[in-house]
Structures are given as structure tokens and as C-alpha cells.
């Protein structure tokens, strides 16, 4: 089924809470550059390189999600690693490694680069600077330098574009300028201040207010969008959220809501992300799951992708998640830009290392 617009419903209205008129113009501005970023990416060349049949993408947080997006869009095997070092299988397989770090100084990603270099693996990089690009230049690795000055989580268009540029040169991605430009048009139409999407995002956030938020997606194209919704709600709204995927969640999570239903029916809200290509059995699972958990959680609704081609549909879900996360930040009265707990953690880790 193809839906022109996201749809949502609410089984019960949220409890009224204190609201704020904070507009958070800085993060609003960053989210508004989605189209600009994708058009920048559309102009990138595809650097010629060896034809590859596999790739390991290493990155964390707002940088690493670009690898998840790329893996969902490409037909050849791409694996994403979000930890120190490398997976145990990587050195022996001689898999090429693409390191993605917006700052260029992400501790875990630099650890993966060090391990890959020690194992003699082919390396490439995407980032805005830092130690990663310094090393790429000095070692002669292929790299894409993206524009600096944004929060990493607000630079996904740049980072994904840089990743896809390198993948295209290696024969791993069919996505070119026309797909990126079409996705940019979708993004621009959604972030425009006069767009009805803004109202939809505001209404959805109002029904999520006061709840722990679960994002339900499905394996394939929608999976990284569900992950992105979760992390954007975490970082922008400073709000607890998690993500789960059909059909796996129907083998465990679906049975988890009854024991504490006196709590979860008022404190947990679920949103399902939907796509025209999800398949009839997944569609049936979404419908039946909603009926089973009704009464135990607040099933707030579903959001459908927009556009025709996979990149457009994936970007549309990501942009909607960004807008909802900013609305939740407004409702919570928090500034979406700073991530103080993350910075404190990094500082304490640095102190322990020294």
C-alpha cells in the first residue's frame, strides 16, 4: 500500500503538561539543510577504485548511522561496526574498511582504523576533519571531506552522500545524482515552514508527550529509519526511546506488555514506521500486533514513507523523525543542540586514559 501522507491515530489523549514556546532556531536551521546536503552530495564525483564485493563501515552515533542507511540501500554485502577495534572475522577476510566520523576524532572509530591498518586492510574515510582525515591524507587513503560546522546527527545528508560517493566508485551502490536530487526535493517539501508535515509532526509529538517512546520498524529499508528516530529523540529531546523490528519483535517483545500494563498503558507509546514495499506479511503483523497490545500500551500510530525510489522513502522517514524529535524537545522545554551527558562521558574517559 502506498500512502501519500503519514497517518497516525491515538487511542487516548495525552495528559496536559507544561509547554514551552522555545523554537530552538539553531537545530531547526540544521534540520532545514537536509535538501541542501543531499544536493551537495549529488555533485560529488564517484572516485574510481577497485571493484569490491564487500565492505565494513565503522562509525558511531550520528556518523555511524550513515553506514546503516547505506547498507539498507545497497544490494551488495555491507556490514556496519559500532565498537572498538574490528569484528573478529575482519582481519582474516581482508574486508576493506570505510571509517566515518564527522569530527574525525571519534575514539572507537580511530581504534577501528588502527586495527585495520595493523591488519593490512584497505582503508577509506569520510569526515569533516580531525585525526581521521589527517591520517587519510598522510597515508593516501580515498576520503571525502564533508562540510563542517554542524552537529554530527544533523549532518546525515553530507555523511551519507560521502559514503555513497565512495561506494559508487567501488561498484557497491547504484545511487547517483538523480536519486539524491529527488530525495532532496522530498526533504525540502517536508521541512518547509508551510508544509502540512510540520503540523503532522507537532500532532504526533503531542500524543507522544509524557510517554516512553517505542519505534517499530521492519527489516530492510525501514530499519535504519527506526534506529534514527530512536537516537534523534534521545539526543534532541533528551527523551527515553527504543526501537524494535518486525518480524523479530513478534517473537518476544509482543508478549512483554501484560505484566506491568497498569504502568505501560499510560507511560509507553508506540509508533510504527511503514513503507510501500514492506510486504503483506509484515503489514499483517503490524495490524495484528496493534490489536494484541491495545490496552497494554498507548499505540499512538503509524508514519508512512513518501516518494518512489528507496532513497526518497528512507529520507522522508528520517526527516519526519527529526521534526518529531524537535517537537518533543519543545514540549520538554530543552535545547536540542547540546548533549551534555555525552560530553561529560567523553571528558571522564579522556581523564582515565591520561
Q: How many CB atoms lie within 10 A of CB 212?
A: 17
| Catalytic residue (one of 251, 262, 340, 351) | 251
Residue 198's alpha-carbon distances to 63, 189, 205, 283, in angstroms, are 26, 10, 11, 26
CB-based burial label for 22 (10 Å; 0-12, 13-18, 19+): middle
CA 323 to chain centre: 13
Q: Taking Cα atoms as reference points, which of 104, 101, 90 lies closest to residue 59?
A: 101
Grid cell 503490524 is found at 286
Determine whether 139 is an active site residue.
no
Yes or no: say if 80 and 57 are a contact pair by the CB < 8 Å rule: yes
Q: Residue 285, SS3?
A: helix
Determine whether 251 is an active site residue.
yes
The C-alpha cell that represents 118 in the structure block: 595493523
Distance CA 158, CA 27 (A): 16
| Catalytic residue (one of 108, 200, 235, 278) | 235
Determine whether 145 is an active site residue.
no
Catalytic residue positions?
A: 235, 251, 346
Amino acid at each position: 500500500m502506498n500512502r501519500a501522507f503519514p497517518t497516525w491515530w491515538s487511542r487516548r489523549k495525552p495528559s496536559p503538561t507544561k509547554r514551552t514556546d522555545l523554537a530552538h532556531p539553531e537545530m531547526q536551521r540544521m534540520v532545514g539543510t537536509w535538501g541542501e546536503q543531499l544536493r551537495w552530495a549529488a555533485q560529488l564525483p564517484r572516485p574510481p577504485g577497485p571493484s569490491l564485493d564487500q565492505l565494513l563501515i565503522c562509525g558511531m552515533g550520528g556518523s555511524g548511522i550513515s553506514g546503516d542507511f547505506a547498507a539498507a540501500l545497497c544490494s551488495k554485502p555491507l556490514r556496519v561496526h559500532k565498537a572498538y577495534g574490528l569484528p573478529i572475522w575482519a582481519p582474516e577476510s581482508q574486508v576493506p574498511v570505510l571509517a566515518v566520523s564527522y569530527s574525525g576524532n571519534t575514539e572507537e572509530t580511530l581504534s577501528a582504523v588502527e586495527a585495520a591498518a595493523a591488519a593490512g586492510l584497505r582503508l577509506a574515510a569520510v569526515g569533516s576533519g580531525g585525526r581521521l582525515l589527517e591520517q587519510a591524507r598522510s597515508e593516501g587513503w580515498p576520503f571525502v571531506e564533508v562540510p563542517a560546522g554542524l552537529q554530527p546527527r544533523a549532518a546525515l545528508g553530507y555523511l551519507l552522500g560521502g559514503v555513497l560517493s565512495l561506494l559508487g566508485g567501488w561498484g557497491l551502490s547504484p545511487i547517483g545524482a538523480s536519486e539524491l536530487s529527488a530525495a532532496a526535493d522530498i526533504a525540502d517539501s517536508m521541512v518547509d515552514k508551510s508544509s502540512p508535515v510540520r503540523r503532522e509532526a507537532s500532532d504526533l509529538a503531542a500524543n507522544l508527550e509524557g510517554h516512553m517512546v517505542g519505534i517499530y520498524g521492519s527489516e530492510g529499508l525501514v530499519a535504519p529509519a527506526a534506529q534514527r528516530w530512536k537516537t534523534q529523540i534521545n539526543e534532541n529531546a533528551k527523551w527515553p526511546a527504543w526501537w524494535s523490528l518486525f518480524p523479530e519483535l513478534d517473537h518476544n517483545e509482543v508478549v512483554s506488555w501484560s505484566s506491568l500494563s497498569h504502568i505501560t498503558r499510560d507511560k509507553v507509546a508506540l509508533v510504527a514506521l511503514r513503507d510501500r514495499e514492506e510486504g503483506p506479511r509484515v503489514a499483517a503483523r503490524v495490524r495484528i500486533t496493534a490489536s494484541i497490545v491495545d490496552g497494554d500500551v498507548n499505540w499512538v500510530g503509524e508514519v508512512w514513507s513518501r516518494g518512489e525510489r528507496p532513497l526518497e522513502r528512507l529520507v522522508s522517514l528520517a526527516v519526519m523523525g527529526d521534526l518529531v524529535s524537535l517537537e518533543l524537545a519543545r514540549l520538554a522545554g530543552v535545547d536540542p543542540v547540546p548533549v551534555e551527558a555525552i560530553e561529560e562521558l567523553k571528558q571522564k574517559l579522556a581523564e582515565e586514559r591520561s
